[in-house]
Chains A and B, each alone.
Chain A
Amino acid sequence: MDAYLPALGGGLLIGLSAAMLLLLNGRIAGISGLVAGLARPGERWVADAAFLIGLVLGPPLFALLAGHWPVMRIEGGWPVLAIAGLLVGFGTRLGSGCTSGHGVCGLARLSPRSIVAVLVFLAAGMLTVALMRVAS
């Protein structure tokens, strides 16, 4: 059970971040949407960029507090990562969100669109991992 405490604690912090952004700025913490929004100048631009800068500074702050960087084991070579990145970028824009916007924020609002999106990307992810295990 202790192994799941960091997972739960990290999840609570992520939820707190989403609640904070909504209650203070009225904004949904959807990372793919915020990233894509950087290409569109507007009154929200500076605050959205500030959120993403904070996001990038999160792991160094963690390293400072914990004394070590978060574990990061990346599998697959560059071609796989490039194809995966293309699919993630294209898919999250076409589907209007990712794990944060549809998952953390959409599920919290019981949005029917987000519930469908989460079920579909979970199923597609699980199927992909299963097929890769069979193929290897």
Chain B
Amino acid sequence: MSGAARSLAALAAGLLFGLGLSLSGMLDPARVRGFLDVGGAWDPSLVFVLGGAVSVSALGYLLSRRLRRPALAETFDLPTARRIDPPLVGGAALFGIGWGLSGFCPGPAIAALSTGAAPVLVFVAAMLVGMAAQVLIRRFGPASVRP
């Protein structure tokens, strides 16, 4: 029962996320790149997207701290890592370069799969390969490159 309820809640949350991305303009890579183009014709609209999203998300987080457990699950599954280490910084830098090149980050790219546009398929396929490569290096690579 609670498994089905969790899946329904997740489906509804995913729909809201995809709807929000669509309304906000985040699905438009040219607009995202316009936001990153601070030296050119800067488009500040993403400040409003992130500002709106972070404020409601923060309210949710503050509320969660007053609860012993989530409504449909046993525990809050929050990240526990604290260290600011080279993998975090290097990974964020590589991601930022790819984001700047294309204007796509994972959420909008996955949501945009529903448009069936071929360039989106290319991007998402490459993204999955990149994720798999990182997992393989972490598992089987030399210890020196393992995060």
Looking at the assembled complex, report how far the CB atom of B43 sits from the nearest CB atom of chain A, in whole angstroms. Answer: 9
A-facing mask of B1-28, CB < 8 A → 1, else 0?
0010011111111111111111111111
| Interface status of A41 (Cβ within 8 A of chain B) | no
Q: Are A76 and B102 neighbours in the complex by a CB distance under 8 Å?
A: yes
Q: Are B126 and A132 neighbours in the complex by a CB distance under 8 Å?
A: no
A7-B24 contact given A75-B103, A99-B107, CB 8 Å threshold: yes
Residue from A52, A54, A94 in contact with B90 in the complex, judged by beta carbons closer than 8 Å: A94
Q: Are A120 and B119 neighbours in the complex by a CB distance under 8 Å?
A: no
| Interface status of B143 (Cβ within 8 A of chain A) | no
Residue from B24, B30, B59 in contact with A14 in the complex, judged by beta carbons closer than 8 Å: B24
Q: Are B84 and A11 neighbours in the complex by a CB distance under 8 Å?
A: no
Q: Are A20 and B16 neighbours in the complex by a CB distance under 8 Å?
A: yes
B-facing mask of A90-122, CB < 8 A → 1, else 0?
111111101110111111110111001110111
Measured between beta carbons, the chain B residues less than 8 angstroms from A16 are 16, 20, 56, 60
A98 to B127: give the CA distance in the assembly, Å: 12
Looking at the assembled complex, report how far the CB atom of B47 sits from the nearest CB atom of chain A, in whole angstroms. Answer: 8
Q: Are A52 and B110 neighbours in the complex by a CB distance under 8 Å?
A: yes
Q: Are A25 and B18 neighbours in the complex by a CB distance under 8 Å?
A: no
Q: Looking at A69, A78, A85, A106, which has the most chain B CB atoms within 10 Å of its CB?
A: A85
Looking at the assembled complex, report how far the CB atom of B42 sits from the nearest CB atom of chain A, in whole angstroms. Answer: 10
Residue from A43, A75, A93, A112 in contact with B131 in the complex, judged by beta carbons closer than 8 Å: A93
A128-B20 contact given A8-B51, A50-B8, A84-B123, CB 8 Å threshold: no
A10-B49 contact given A25-B6, A94-B87, CB 8 Å threshold: yes
Interface CB pairs A-B, < 8 A, 9: A4-B44, A15-B59, A70-B21, A70-B23, A84-B104, A92-B95, A96-B79, A117-B89, A127-B96
